[in-house]
Amino acid sequence: MTYEPQEDSYLLLEYVKQLAYGKVLDMGAGSGILAKQAVYSQQVEEVVAVDIDEQSIEELNRDDIKGLRAFQSNLFANITEKFDTIVFNPPYLPKDEKDEDIALDGGVKGYEVIEMFLKNAKKHLKPAGIILMVFSNRTGKKEIDKIIKREGYRFELLEKKSLDFFEELYVYKIVTK
Ligand SMILES: C[S@@+](CC[C@H](N)C(=O)[O-])C[C@H]1O[C@@H](n2cnc3c(N)ncnc32)[C@H](O)[C@@H]1O
């Protein structure tokens, strides 16, 4: 089922507007809210949108947007290209066995999908490329910071936003060292 844009989508959208440039990859595109924004940005040349979910891709392709190519991929499995900007609003919550949802389940701990993404993203980034990514305190900020360092990147915290007493979202700009 296609993910309806939520607070995380709208928060990341602001930074896609400001910072996405060149050739852009929208990883886990869902409804394509981020990819569609990127397509209309003057600094952006072309946009590729992928999702593991076939239905999301079918719906995106139905819109037939000029400058936007969409296809199914489990992270980078079907991607051979390199990008100036990769945007990712990942599944970032610890898996709920009773209510499984591929758009939300980031793995048992919550950060495993992000870890796999970061292991592979550097092979698909052009030399001055940037990653724009959102996640939550429920993902484990310390763990994400450690993975970023270990995989040879550095990050800048672009925004921290409290949603309620329990949840806080972070938007990171990540680059290779
Ligand atoms: C939180 S939703 C974000 C959707 C959209 N980008 C947005 O901001 O509204 C996460 C998306 O990642 C997709 N996804 C989950 N695991 C994936 C994987 N391994 N590879 C590619 N996409 C994945 C889900 O199907 C879902 O569309």
pLDDT digits over 7-43, tens only?
999 999 999 999 999 999 999 999 999 999 999 999 9
Give CA–CA dist 150/115, Å, rounded.
10
Confidence class of residue 113 from pLDDT cuts 50, 70 and 90? Answer: very high
Give CA–CA dist 2/32, Å, rounded.
10
Considering only CA atoms, which residue is closest to atom 6 of ligand 1?
Answer: 29
Give CA–CA dist 78/172, Å, rounded.
25
Q: Which of 6, 52, 59 to mutate to test the pocket of ligand 1 (most atoms within 8 A of CB)?
A: 52
| Strand intervals (E) in the chain | 22-27, 44-51, 68-72, 83-88, 125-136, 153-162, 168-176
Give the helix/strand (H/E) hosting 59: helix 54-62
- CA distances (Å), origin 35, targets 8, 93, 107, 152: 15, 22, 25, 26
Ligand 1 centroid distance, CA of 43 (Å): 24
**How high is the pLDDT of residue 48?**
98
pTM, full prediction: 0.97
Domain chopping of the chain, boundaries: 7-176
Which residues, in sequence order, are CB contacts of 153 under 8 Å at separation 6+? 118, 122, 131, 174, 175, 176, 177
Ligand 1 centroid distance, CA of 90 (Å): 5
Give CA–CA dist 162/168, Å, rounded.
4
- Index of the ligand 1 atom closest to the CA of residue 75: 20
**How high is the pLDDT of residue 98?**
86
CATH of domain 7-176: 3.40.50.150
Which pair of tokens denotes residue 56?
């999301």
Give CA–CA dist 41/52, Å, rounded.
25
Q: Which residue stretches of 63-101 are H helix?
A: none
Ligand 1 centroid distance, CA of 109 (Å): 17
